[in-house]
A and B are shown apart, each in its own frame.
Chain A
Amino acid sequence: MNDRYSNPYVIGVILGLILLFSFYTMGRGLGSSASFARIATAGVKLVAPEHAKANAYFSKYIKGKRSPLIAWLVFLTIGAALGGLFSAFISNRIKGEVARGPSISVSIRLWLALGGGILSGFAARLARGCTSGQALTGAAELAFGSWVFMFCIFAGAYATAYFFRKEWL
């Protein structure tokens, strides 16, 4: 396993150029959390189509006959999965495991991952975006709410990091 990662400043410059390319070509930035909301919507629609249509929030993803999955961000996320896979493959970093600190059990780690996922999915909908769609994209445009949002992410994480130290350290 190769733990040598690239220099973060170099990665930052390249990521900034990718984001700029997205703005220049599409007039919008990156994002990913909405694609999970769309996948979830597609699932609900499959099980209970009437319920999905009646819901004020799900229904925004269901327009006309088009599947909620035919969306720009869904394709972006599929691309991100392939890009991540390619990078992990060429660096020999693909390994089935549960990533965690040395002093936590697998089952507790997985429960915490589930809990963190639920909080993140909920919060991303509430804030109209996640770290990439709201903080990264919006901050580059100097959007006021995005800057506030970004500092709030750090505030929330630093304030509670102490309680999860056994999970990581």
Chain B
Amino acid sequence: MGPLYKFGWFDHAYSLQLAGLIGFMFGFVLERAGFGNPRKLTAIFYLRDFAVLKVMFTAIIVCMLGLLYFFFFGWIDLGRVYLLPTFIWPQIVGGLVLGIGFVMGGYCPTTSVVATVSGKLDGLIFIIGMMLGSVLFAEIFPFLKGFYTSGNMGKIRLTDVFNINSGIIAFLVCLMAVGAYWFVEKVEQKFGDKDTLPKGSPKVKRTAAGLLILLGLILAVVNPDRIIAKPAIPAIKPEKQVERVQKPSATSETPDSIGFKIVDDEGC
């Protein structure tokens, strides 16, 4: 049962080798997609080529479906998978600034690595800039500490915010993705260069879209969340203490102290 590392299948030294392997595949596919080229990357912001959105959304959906199906079949313990905590205000501001940095510099952090190794000087300069930005952040961190920890909502998922089970969320994400693919391809046809845009048969696309929606729909029906909810049911005593009955909430993992503490930067 996964995650293998958390169940002690291998040690730290091996995990670093695995990181190298996973990174190799990561860098390889990014370069395959043309993400070492900033003109290809930024074309999305001028409505000419939505490869960035297609790759990102597809990867998110494949992984999301994979995680939920693995969980449903009992192959992975999602409780042991590191979930990124939500600090809503720094994430909003950070996202906006990262977006500006993306269109200004032409890269996001990982793609700049791929660009640098394919010989682009601007990619290397971007990396140097990122290091300077990190140092700048650390140096003024005492002033930012309050903002950095503001808007703490704990480790919450979309399911907690909308109070919908994750199967239905997954189904909605699949529907949204298919809608987004259809829409951006319309936009590409209007503004993009038809010679460089990827060609694909409409039949394959329709089949893939259908499969995606079907996989989402199955999840919505089987509802993987009930696996977590099950043990809680016998504990409810209906005759008394009604007001004390509460469902297990994922938000219970509030930070242990107000002071600044970073467990391990498992995120990014």
User: What residues of chain A have their CB less than 8 Å away from a CB belonging to chain B?
Assistant: 3, 5-9, 11-34, 36-37, 39-41, 43-44, 55-58, 60-61, 70, 72-73, 75-88, 91, 93-101, 109-110, 112-161, 164-165, 167-169
Given contacts A12-B57, A15-B26, A120-B107, 18 further A-B contacts (CB under 8 A): A5-B33, A11-B33, A16-B62, A20-B66, A21-B22, A23-B76, A32-B110, A84-B36, A94-B117, A129-B267, A129-B268, A133-B267, A143-B155, A143-B157, A147-B158, A153-B99, A155-B95, A156-B102
A-B contact pairs, 17 of them (CB 8 A): A12-B57, A15-B29, A19-B63, A55-B141, A76-B19, A81-B113, A84-B28, A84-B114, A87-B29, A110-B125, A117-B107, A118-B132, A121-B132, A123-B98, A131-B56, A144-B161, A152-B93
Of the candidates A77, A141, A150, A164, the one whose C-beta lies within 8 Å of that of B104 is: A164
Residue in A closest to B267 when the chains form the complex, CB atoms: A129
With a CB–CB cut-off of 8 A, which chain A residues contact B130?
Answer: 33, 36, 117-118, 120-121, 124
Tell me if B175 counts as interface (CB < 8 A to partner A): no
B87-110 contact mask (Cβ, 8 Å, vs A): 1 or 0? 110111111111111111111111
Contacts A141-B83, A164-B104: A132 and B134 contacting too (C-beta < 8 A)?
no
Please tell me if the beta carbons of A88 and B134 are within 8 angstroms of each other in the complex: no
With a CB–CB cut-off of 8 A, which chain B residues contact A61?
Answer: 265
Contacts A81-B117, A145-B91, A158-B45: A11 and B29 contacting too (C-beta < 8 A)?
yes
Please tell me if the beta carbons of A134 and B15 are within 8 angstroms of each other in the complex: no
Give the Cβ gap from B178 to chain A, nearest Cβ, in Å.
12
Give Cα A13 to B60, complex, Å. 9
With a CB–CB cut-off of 8 A, which chain B residues contact A84?
Answer: 27-28, 30-31, 36, 113-114, 117-118
Give the Cβ gap from B127 to chain A, nearest Cβ, in Å.
7
Contacts A80-B114, A150-B95: A94 and B24 contacting too (C-beta < 8 A)?
no
Tell me if B6 counts as interface (CB < 8 A to partner A): yes
Give the Cβ gap from A126 to chain B, nearest Cβ, in Å.
4
Please tell me if the beta carbons of B136 and A131 are within 8 angstroms of each other in the complex: no
With a CB–CB cut-off of 8 A, which chain A residues contact B166?
Answer: 142
With a CB–CB cut-off of 8 A, which chain B residues contact A85?
Answer: 27, 117-118
Residue in B closest to A27 when the chains form the complex, CB atoms: B3
Contacts A15-B29, A79-B26: A138 and B117 contacting too (C-beta < 8 A)?
no
Stretch at the interface among B142-150, B226-234, B237-245: B142-150
Please tell me if the beta carbons of A28 and B268 are within 8 angstroms of each other in the complex: no
DSSP majority for the B interface?
helix
Please tell me if the beta carbons of A145 and B87 are within 8 angstroms of each other in the complex: yes
Give Cα A113 to B93, complex, Å. 20
With a CB–CB cut-off of 8 A, which chain B residues contact A60?
Answer: 262, 265
Tell me if B61 counts as interface (CB < 8 A to partner A): yes
Give Cα A150 to B24, complex, Å. 24
Tell me if B196 counts as interface (CB < 8 A to partner A): yes
Give the Cβ gap from B115 to chain A, nearest Cβ, in Å.
7
Of the candidates B27, B118, B158, the one whose C-beta lies within 8 Å of that of A80 is: B27
Give the Cβ gap from A120 to chain B, nearest Cβ, in Å.
4
Q: Which of B13-29 contact A (CB under 8 A)?
A: 15-29
Q: Which of B113-132 contact A (CB under 8 A)?
A: 113-123, 125-132
Please tell me if the beta carbons of A73 and B268 are within 8 angstroms of each other in the complex: yes
With a CB–CB cut-off of 8 A, which chain A residues contact B194?
Answer: none
Residue in A closest to B61 when the chains form the complex, CB atoms: A16
